[in-house]
Amino acid sequence: MLDLKFLRENPEVVKQNIKNKFQDRKLPLVDEVIELDVESRKTQQEADNLRANRKSLSKKIGELMAKGKKEEAEEVKAQVNANANRLAELESKETELLEKITKIMMVIPNIIDSSVPIGKDDSENVEIKKYGEPVVPDFEVPYHAEIMDNFNGLDLDSARKVAGNGFYYLMGDIARLHSAVISYARDFMINRGFTYCIPPFMIRSDVVTGVMSFEEMDAMMYKIEGEDLYLIGTSEHSMIGKFIDTIIPEEQLPHTLTSYSPCFRKEKGAHGIEERGVYRIHQFEKQEMIVVCKPEDSKMWFDKLWQNTVDLFRSLDIPVRTLECCSGDLADLKVKSIDVEAWSPRQKKYFEVGSCSNLGDAQARRLKIRVVGEGGKYFAHTLNNTVVAPPRMLIAFLENNLNADGSVSIPKALQPYMGGKEFIK
């Protein structure tokens, strides 16, 4: 959420940012907020004057009563009562105006970084760099569900009976490989100085609206019926929420956390064959990383976060590339984002396996995550990035480590987590 003072002083900058994100329907909201803000400040000023006047009038009543001027005192009392009624009206109006302003400000997108390329959607994202040599083997790479089936490792039919479409059973070596990747990712991040955490898998509505836009919330989140609780779509939600309504001493920053959680998402819409199987699903597990830091350090941490993901995938012999997300592909709270995509030998193209985002102070402003230092209080910056999200990551792993005889090679880094196995057959 933007600073209201910034919007008030820079309305054209905010409008241009909306245009850059191709959300022209939101342009009238800027003027609407400015009008409501003028009315709100006028109302607050009148209310403040009445509050200040209340003390002097109360003192005057005492003085008049002490002098025996009862009639005059009663006249002042009547004025105090009239002022009290008016103050009640103004305070109610203040609350109403503030709610209207906040509701609109929650919809106006955050100011994107000047380095973000302008584009309408993800088709205009810009490749930054490739890591590793993409290989297409001289044998046919089966569809990922077929590879898993060959190991008796996937049961979609039973899952469909138990929970419906978008769920799965992983079995045997495939299930073990899934757990091995998560455990390896956990230790990888711990070795890079991050604190390991297992967070709550449900969060309250005030945390949901603090970490994401209303559009994302509606598209992603499952609500628990009869409770003020939502199933998390990513542990980033819980991890950033951990700091809600806190004042952090500056010397304690940065907070660098890596978290494990199951994730639950609606994943609306129909998808092609490559997104069936276990590519786009309602439930999966993920290792995440988040940072809470000083504003001047967020750019440095952004580059470190996405590099962690690149390094992890390369340690498992998976070629990847990084993409700069264009303006139209950025969620409203994001300042800048880079996607990491893994090479698919089957599709002969890259596909998304993680996303790194700098949200500036947008989440901190909504959740009241403040920092106190020598210069006073200010809002922290928050960042997040996917470490790994199997089973989607398993698709990249299996395709890139598949051998002609149908076996799958286990890279050295992962062998200790697979009981020393060099292959699964």
CATH code for the domain of 240: 3.30.930.10
Structural domain count of the chain: 2
Return the residue matching tokens 């790479």. 141
pLDDT value of position 12? 98
Q: What is the mean pLDDT for each group of 10 consecutive residues in the chain (425 residues)?
A: 94 98 97 97 90 71 70 72 82 94 95 97 97 95 95 94 93 97 98 98 95 83 94 95 98 98 79 63 94 98 98 96 97 96 96 96 97 95 96 94 97 97 96
Tell me, yes or no, whether 319 and 205 share the same domain: yes
Please compute, for residue 65, the number of CA atoms within 13 A of its CA located in the half-sphere on the CB side. Answer: 11
Range of the domain at 404: 122-424
Residue 376 belongs to some domain of the structure: yes
The three state secondary structure string of 382-400 is: EEEEEEECCCHHHHHHHHH
**202 shares a domain with 72:** no
E strands along 304-361, which residues?
Answer: 320-324, 336-344, 349-358
Residues in CB range of 389: below 8 A, 6 or more apart: 263, 284, 285, 286, 287, 353, 354
Q: Residue 390 in contact with residue 376, Cβ under 8 Å?
A: no
The residue type found at 138 is: D
- The secondary structure of residue 109, as a DSSP letter, is P
Residues sharing a CB contact under 8 Å with residue 295, sequence separation 6 or more, in sequence order = 360, 361, 378, 379, 380, 381
Residue-level pLDDT at 63: 65
Q: Clarify whether residues 75 and 205 are in a common domain.
A: no
Domain-embedded: residue 396: yes
pLDDT, tens digit (0-9, with 9 covering 90-100), for 149-208? 999 999 999 999 999 988 999 999 999 999 999 999 999 999 999 999 999 999 999 999
**Predicted structure pTM score:** 0.89
pLDDT of residue 273: 43
Do 133 and 79 have their domain in common? Answer: no
**Domain assignment present for 117:** no
> What token pair was written down for 253?
């920053």
Residue 222 to residue 220: CA distance in whole angstroms: 7
Do 99 and 145 lie in one domain? The reply is: no
340 in the same domain as 404: yes
Assess whether 283 and 398 both reside in one domain. yes
d(CA 394, CA 148): 10
Do 46 and 138 lie in one domain? The reply is no
Residue 344 forms part of a structural domain: yes
Query: Any alpha helices (H) in 134-198, and if so which ranges?
Result: 144-150, 156-162, 172-191
Which parts are annotated binding residues for L-serine? 234, 265, 288, 384
Helix (H, G, I), strand (E, B) or coil at 3: coil
**Residues 267 and 376 grouped into a single domain:** yes
The CA R_g of the chain, rounded to the nearest whole Å, is: 28
The annotated binding site is made up of 234, 265-267, 288, 352-355, 384
In a domain, 8, yes or no: yes
Same domain membership, residue 344 and residue 373? yes
Query: What's the confidence (pLDDT) of residue 272?
Result: 45
44 part of a folded domain: yes
Residue 111 lies in a domain: no
- Binding residues for ATP, as ranges, are 265-267, 352-355
Instruction: Output the CA torsion sign for 327, 331, 332, 336.
Output: negative
Q: Does any domain span residue 116?
A: no
What's the CATH code of the domain at 50? 1.10.287.40
Residues 6+ apart with CB under 8 A from 197: 239, 257, 258, 259, 260
* Same domain membership, residue 202 and residue 68: no
* Residue 310: both structure tokens together: 């690149």
Answer yes or no: do 24 and 148 share one domain: no
